[in-house]
């Protein structure tokens, strides 16, 4: 492996093309980048090298951002939605033009494979396509009034400033899922990206800021703040932000939800997952292995939709177990920018320590390690963030299995008898994001998708738990938070709903036949 990955794979050229320097101010109102807080450093988990330094947002900086967003809202909400869609379309065109350098930066700063980095930018492109069409389809309803000479209807109006808080594992796509819809709905946005991937956040802001400037639009339509959880609290406690959309861990989501609920705001929470694939006796084993391995080790197990549990019928348990273990022997771990590798690093050494602790807890609680991944060192692994994926035989009741481990740790769980036993195991955790079943039985698949089946927000048949399309609403139930982002009718949360009644007669009849004569 090259000792100068950044040079070999063109990271400096990518940063230059994206308009990002080595020292950046982490507060932005459109193209105005400023900050007066402390400085954080972004190191790549790929090679441990410093990408750049970012100055964080202070409370005073934040106030400037909100003032700009409030001012922008007054103008932006009055621009016709199709014209707002045109701005998003131009943003989409820039994303297409800059897909390669942005995807490369995502890969280098976060550590996911280059193909996954490109895929994440493609998700941004796809949601923009969706949003542009949506800008002409923000439909309301008409209803029949019980009173003669009256017309009733519902309409949707822009909500206000949308606060978006995102996590390191998908540093760009969840922001785009939110803001592409928010923008066409008439809302400005304030984005706090992860402090672990701040360079990527600011690169995205540069792209949209240039589009806004070109169209003579208010700069405050898109704003960025940078920093730790304290900066996030500026947003969650701020009554001027009617909606907070937060992606991250369940504990983080609980804190966000409490802050927002305390001020009667709206929250959209997309939190942890503990996703399972059920493998029935008549499952296609080859497809099962492909789906399970990609789901478990893709992004080094750092997806909220990563496959954590494989619930396998006893009739095919040994066959599936042996196939999975053999497949793990073929996994290539290394520089994620090298497309010959399957798995890159964890985000940082803290994540590595968490992974090691989880393996020890599996053993302490009575689980059996089938593949015990170790931390890799030596040439190419100097960052200390590369680990081998692990597989363990467990029962669903173990505490470590009940908790989400954000790393490539796959649990194999055996079930017997009826499919309902497997469904009960699948549902027997606190999280409810993604789920899947591998089966050639129509009855089993329909049962899995029925009201007595999966209790997750996403339920797939004969595909894995990860890899959602933007056309469907994304999110989950229980400790996953209940929020929905991206497609379908998720746009409605970014708007305020209003019921209207018009009396076009010369009389004033009351509802429910009430009489009130003067």
Among 276, 308, 286, 273, residue whose Cα is nearest residue 389: 308
* Structure letter (DSSP) for residue 333: B
Residue 49 burial (C-beta neighbours within 10 Å; 0-12, 13-18, 19+): middle
* Alpha-carbon distances, residue 513 vs 150, 154, 502, 504, 510 (angstroms): 14, 23, 17, 18, 6
The helix/strand/coil state of 246 is strand
Residues 29, 30, 31, 37: what is their CA dihedral angle, to the nearest 10 degrees? 20
**Cβ neighbour number for residue 137 with a 10 Å cutoff:** 10
**Cβ neighbour number for residue 311 with a 10 Å cutoff:** 25
* Alpha-carbon distances, residue 209 vs 11, 212, 223, 466 (angstroms): 22, 5, 9, 31
List the beta bridge partners of residue 55.
25, 39
* Known active-site residue 304: yes
**Cβ neighbour number for residue 378 with a 10 Å cutoff:** 8
Q: Which of 123, 270, 404, 485 is catalytic?
A: 270
* Alpha-carbon distances, residue 134 vs 42, 64, 157, 342, 491 (angstroms): 36, 31, 14, 36, 9
User: Could you give the CA distance from residue 464 to residue 482 in angstroms, rounded to a whole number?
Assistant: 21
User: Could you give the CA distance from residue 75 to residue 425 in angstroms, rounded to a whole number?
Assistant: 52
Among 292, 273, 275, 274, residue whose Cα is nearest residue 283: 292
Question: Which residues are within 8 A (CB) of 82 and not within 5 positions of it... i.e. 6 or more apart?
Answer: 135, 136
The helix/strand/coil state of 337 is coil
C-alpha radius of gyration, the chain, whole number: 25
* Structure letter (DSSP) for residue 147: S
In 172-197, which ranges are continuous DSSP H helix?
173-185
List the beta bridge partners of residue 501.
152
N residues, the chain: 518
Q: Which of 304, 385, 404, 456 is catalytic?
A: 304
495-503 and 150-158: which strand pairing? antiparallel
* Known active-site residue 223: no
Residues with catalytic roles = 270, 304
């Amino acid at each position: 492996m090259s000792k100068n990955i950044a040079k070999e794979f063109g990271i400096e050229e990518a940063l230059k093309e994206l308009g990002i320097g080595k020292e950046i101010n982490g507060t932005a109102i459109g193209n105005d980048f400023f900050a007066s807080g402390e400085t954080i450093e972004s190191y790549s988990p790929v090679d441990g090298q410093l990408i750049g330094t970012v100055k964080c947002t202070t409370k005073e900086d934040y106030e400037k951002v909100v003032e700009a967003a409030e001012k922008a809202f007054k103008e932006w909400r009055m621009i016709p939605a199709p014209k707002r869609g045109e701005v998003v379309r131009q943003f989409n065109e820039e994303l297409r033009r800059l897909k390669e350098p942005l995807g490369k930066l995502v890969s280098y700063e976060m550590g996911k494979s280059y193909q996954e980095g490109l895929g994440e930018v493609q998700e941004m492109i796809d949601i923009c396509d969706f949003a542009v069409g949506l800008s002409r389809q923000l439909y309301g309803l008409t209803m029949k009034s019980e009173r003669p000479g009256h017309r009733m209807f519902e309409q949707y109006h822009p909500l206000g400033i949308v606060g978006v808080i995102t996590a390191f594992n998908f540093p760009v796509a969840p922001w785009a899922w939110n803001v592409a819809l928010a923008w066409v709905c008439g809302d400005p946005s304030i984005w706090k990206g992860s402090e672990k991937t701040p360079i990527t956040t600011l690169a995205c802001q540069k792209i949209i800021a240039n589009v806004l400037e070109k169209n003579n639009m208010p700069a405050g339509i898109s704003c960025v703040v940078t920093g730790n959880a304290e900066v996030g609290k500026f947003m969650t406690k701020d009554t001027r932000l009617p909606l907070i959309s937060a992606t991250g861990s369940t504990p983080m989501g609980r804190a966000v939800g409490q802050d927002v609920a305390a001020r009667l705001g709206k929250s959209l929470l997309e939190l942890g997952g503990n996703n399972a694939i059920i493998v029935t006796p008549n499952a296609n084993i080859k497809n099962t292995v492909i789906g399970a391995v990609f789901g478990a080790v893709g992004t080094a197990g750092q997806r909220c939709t990563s496959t954590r549990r494989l619930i396998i019928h006893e009739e095919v348990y040994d066959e599936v177990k042996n196939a999975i273990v053999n497949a793990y022997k073929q996994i290539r771990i290394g520089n994620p920018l090298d497309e010959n590798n399957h798995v890159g690093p964890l985000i940082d050494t803290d994540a590595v320590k968490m992974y090691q602790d989880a393996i020890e807890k599996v053993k302490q609680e009575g689980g059996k390690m089938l593949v015990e991944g170790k931390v890799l060192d030596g040439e190419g692994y100097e960052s200390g963030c590369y680990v081998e994926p692990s597989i363990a035989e467990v029962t669903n009741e173990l505490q470590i299995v009940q908790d989400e481990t954000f790393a490539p740790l796959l649990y194999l769980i055996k079930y017997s008898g009826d499919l309902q036993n497997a469904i009960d195991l699948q549902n027997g955790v606190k999280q409810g994001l993604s789920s899947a079943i591998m089966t050639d039985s129509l009855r089993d698949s329909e049962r899995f998708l029925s009201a007595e089946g999966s209790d997750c927000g996403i339920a797939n048949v004969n595909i894995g738990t990860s890899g959602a399309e933007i056309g469907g609403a994304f999110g989950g139930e229980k400790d996953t938070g209940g929020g929905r982002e991206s497609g379908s009718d998720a746009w409605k949360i970014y708007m305020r709903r209003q019921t209207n009644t018009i009396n076009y007669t010369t009389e004033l009849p009351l509802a429910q036949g009430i009489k009130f004569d003067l």
